[in-house]
Amino acid sequence: MSHEPTASAAQLPASHRALVERAIDGELDAITELLRELRPLVHRTVRAILGADHRDVDDVAQQAFVALIRSLSNFRMESSLSTYASRITTRTALSARRREQRREAVHKSYAEELGADVKQPTEALTHHVRALLGELSEEQAETLALRTVLGFSIEEIAAMTEVPRNTVKSRLRLAKAALRERVESAHRTKEAR
């Protein structure tokens, strides 16, 4: 099976292109090599979004690997393999974070019904940032994570998400405004006590 790259695929080295093509064709050695090469990036991305000590880091990384392999046939080879893997991993980790927040909300509602104190006085700002990612639209959360957590430029994010630069800037502005409001709200709540 031939996977013809587009004219702009010159960014992807021939060795990676061949590896991806072999992985798409189902060659186990190629898939293994691809996963081995991307493992540090995937784990670093998941830890950055969920937290280094999060109990589900390995599980979410596995989910990201599965998603990456399943979506490999959609990879147009117009960007680097690491950029593509970062995007898939970011979406997978954000999705896992949202699922966790839904579970926590259910547990919290049960605890409140039972009259238990569920607030933790040592909650860190990073928890608020990660919680915010789950509350933002998927596009804003992805853009914020790609920019602030993974350090991609506006141009790189625009290329990865296939939207204009101004859309990336708008998503960042809205996400940062939501973050600022959440932090200020938490501070006001703390002062009111």
Give me the helix-helix angle, 81-114 and 125-135, nearest 10°: 100
Residue type, 23: A
For 53-73, the pLDDT digits (tens) are: 888 899 999 999 999 999 999
User: For position 178, what pLDDT does the model report?
Assistant: 84
| The CATH classification of domain 10-118, taken from the options 3.30.43.10, 3.40.50.1000, 1.10.1740.10, 3.40.50.1370 | 1.10.1740.10
Which whole-number Å values give the CA distances from 91 to 50, 64, 67, 112, in the listed order?
A: 12, 8, 10, 31
121-188 has which CATH code? 1.10.10.10
pLDDT recorded at residue 16: 85
Which regions of the chain does DSSP assign to beta strands (E)?
none
Nearest C-alpha neighbor of 159 from the set 101, 80, 65: 80
Q: Which of 160, 49, 127, 48 has its CA nearest to residue 95?
A: 49
Instruction: Calculate mean pLDDT across residues 121-129.
Output: 53
Is residue 20 within 8 A of residue 26, CB to CB? The reply is no
Spatial separation of the C-alpha atoms in residues 86 and 68, rounded to whole Å? 10
From residue 96, give the alpha-carbon distance in Å to each of 19, 59, 61, 83, 113. Answer: 29, 10, 10, 20, 26
Say whether pLDDT at 94 is over 50.
Answer: yes
> Can you give the pLDDT at residue 126?
59
First-to-last CA distance in the chain? Answer: 66
pLDDT per residue as tens digits for the range 5-52: 444 444 677 888 899 999 999 999 999 999 999 999 999 999 999 888
Would you kindly state where each structural domain of the chain is located, as residue ranges? Answer: 10-118, 121-188
Helix (H, G, I), strand (E, B) or coil at 40: helix
Confirm whether pTM is higher than 0.85.
no
Give the residue among 121, 169, 124 at the shortest CA–CA distance from 144.
169
- Answer positive or negative: Cα dihedral of 181, 88, 127, 106: positive
